[in-house]
Structure 1
Amino acid sequence: MEPSLHESKILITRGAKQAKALSDKVIALGGIPIEVPLLRISCKEEAENSQILHNLHRYKWIFFTSSNGVDCFIQLMEKYHLENLQDIKFAAVGHKTEQALKDYGYVPSFIPSIYNADVMAAEFLKDFKDEGPVLLIRGNRSRDVLPTEFSKHELSFDVLEVYETSFNYDAKDQLNELLKKNEIDFITFTSPSTVEAFVEMAEVIPEKHYVCIGTTTEQRALEFGFKSLITPQEFTTDSMLQAISNYINRKEG
């Protein structure tokens, strides 16, 4: 059965730059997207440790755990007029991050079987435990799974923070007006940060169906007491929408 959202109203809480792509998918599946970007993503204009950028040749691997990291890293590369990456291997947390790398002409050599940092660390250390040093490209709210696991296994690594995620408080009134109308069918969370921003800004947490992109986001939602959670087996936005469609079909069946 072809997936269909049956004109369900889907609240999209991710940053504005990424929201449109998800909205287009919702429309294509017969749903009604409502964008309320609760996050702001901003690339850092200067590298806190430019020495790392000027010594990229010493790293065997560069790790990316988001497409934001890819975009902002490349911006810094261009700012510092750096180009020599041909001898470095890339790791991407999932297909979206992989595609972001390919858009710039780079192909990752490693992608975990499940798209989260826990599996990424475990599978990389199993197959490449002696292949350091590694450079971790991160944002200010990135989890510490990779640094913790790499330290535990004595794999040499450095960290470069290239973007910042902050709450978009300008969207607070819009969010609460929508929640008061009680017309939303599903609320999507595409990262733990979207969960945190929603809890921070929502005056009332409604009893709705909350759709999490993966188990890490799901766990953060559970920590805040969310109960009606839908989480796909594959951690992508396409799978999120498929999971919503499956839920609707089961309910109507």
Structure 2
Amino acid sequence: MNDHLPLQGKQVLVTRHKAQARSFGKKIEALGGRPILTSLISFRPAMSSKEASFFQADLEQTDWLVFTSVNGAKFFFSYLEGHGISFSAQHRTKVAAVGEKTARYIRDRHLAVDLVPDLYVAEQLAEALKEKVGQNDKVMVVKGNLGRNVIKDTLAPLGIDISESILYQTVPDSDGILKLRETAKFESFDFVTFTSSSTVHTFMDIMKEDSKKWLEHQTAFISIGPLTKQALDQYGIPSFMPNVYTIDGMLDKMCSISKKGE
């Protein structure tokens, strides 16, 4: 194996949303691999224009604004821009983000981030917020329709005023699903990657028991973090998970597996 191209000759199925999969695919190519991109889910706005004034009023009263994903941050800023809502870096609201990528996206839009947990999972963010949020603080969690209620379930019993704003919906990507069906007829994969539990469920609904046959052909399933791994476990699919729950962590894990199998 070429040490400089640890994924040389490896076929990697990327099931991530197409807007986010391109950079993942380029990194795979840079390591010598061949990415096959099949977007299984897509995202659409969930909050109507009629709710803009109420959203702005709630935002103005918020002491802590919490983002649990990059998608939540993207839809948040898009909604502000689309409805002329002002939210500057000088605003009194503090900001918490579940991971460094989400935090970086927010900072790039000139908004300071006050809290990022060491582990990029909602449970860690909820525990960190318990130490920071005041008893009289108002907390707003920005999320998608499939987002878990971990932060609310953790803070609400403490008497903290917490609300959830559903800014986007996760829906199946019909074009990507069709591509997966066709690709699976003719291709075999060395790695299948998942970056969310919703993608796992969509994938398994399409492939059903056929995916287990891939394990017999030494296909390695790679999950980005604990929740994604748990979703695969539900279907009896073992997977490898990186120590750092990021795309780069997944790449490192695939390179390590490839090196062991050389």
Give the TM-score range, shorter chain: over 0.9
1:52 alignment partner, one of 55, 58, 73: 55
Partner in structure 2 of residue 224 of structure 1? 235
Aligned residues of 1:90 and 1:109 also touching (Cα < 8 A): yes
Q: Which string of whole-angstrom CA distances, capped at 9 and with x for unpartnered residues, describes residues 134-186 of structure 1?
A: 11001011112112112232221111111111111332332123223342110
Structure 1 match to 2:153: 148
Note the aligned Cα RMSD (angstroms): 1.9
Question: In structure 1, what is the equivalent of residue 176 of structure 2?
Answer: 171
8 A contact 1:63–1:136 mirrored in 2: yes
Residue 160 of structure 1 corresponds to which residue in structure 2?
Answer: 165
* Residues 159 and 3 of structure 1: CA distance in aligned 2, closer, same or farther (over 3 Å): farther
Q: Is contact 1:211-1:240 (8 Å) kept?
A: yes
Give, in angstroms, the shift of residue 47 of structure 1.
5.4
User: 2:77 matched to which residue of 1?
Assistant: 74
97, 101, 114: which one aligns with 1:96: 101
Q: Of the candidates 187, 198, 201, which is equivalent to residue 192 of structure 2?
A: 187
Residue matched to 1:25: 27
The TM-score normalised by the length of structure 2 is 0.89
Could you list the per-position Cα deviations for residues 29-80 of structure 1 after superposition, in whole angstroms to 9, with x for gaps in the alignment?
2211110000011223625743132331211111111111111111111122
CA contact (8 A) 1:47 1:162 kept: no
Q: Provide the aligned length of Structure 1 versus Structure 2.
A: 251
1:69 maps to amino acid? G
Is the 8 Å Cα contact of residues 9 and 33 (structure 1) preserved in structure 2? yes
**In 1, Cα distance between the equivalents of 2:133 and 2:145?**
26
Mapped to 1, the partners of 2:166 and 2:147 lie a distance apart of: 9
Q: How big is the shift at 1:131?
A: 6.3
1:35 aligned partner: 37
What letter matches 2:87 in structure 1? N
Counterpart secondary structure, 2:261: helix
Q: Could you say what secondary structure the match of 1:175 adopts?
A: helix
Instruction: Look up the match of 1:237.
Output: 247
Q: What residue in structure 2 maps to residue 214 of structure 1?
A: 225
In structure 2, the gaps of 5 or more residues are none
Q: Percentage identity across aligned positions? A: 27
Q: Tell me if structure 2 keeps the 8 A contact 1:67–1:97.
A: yes
Conservation of the 8 A alpha-carbon contact between 1:3 and 1:246: no
**Partner Cα separation in structure 2 for residue 249 and residue 187 of structure 1:** 17
Distance 1:130 1:35, change over 3 A: same
**Do structure 1's residue 5 and structure 2's residue 7 form an aligned pair?**
yes
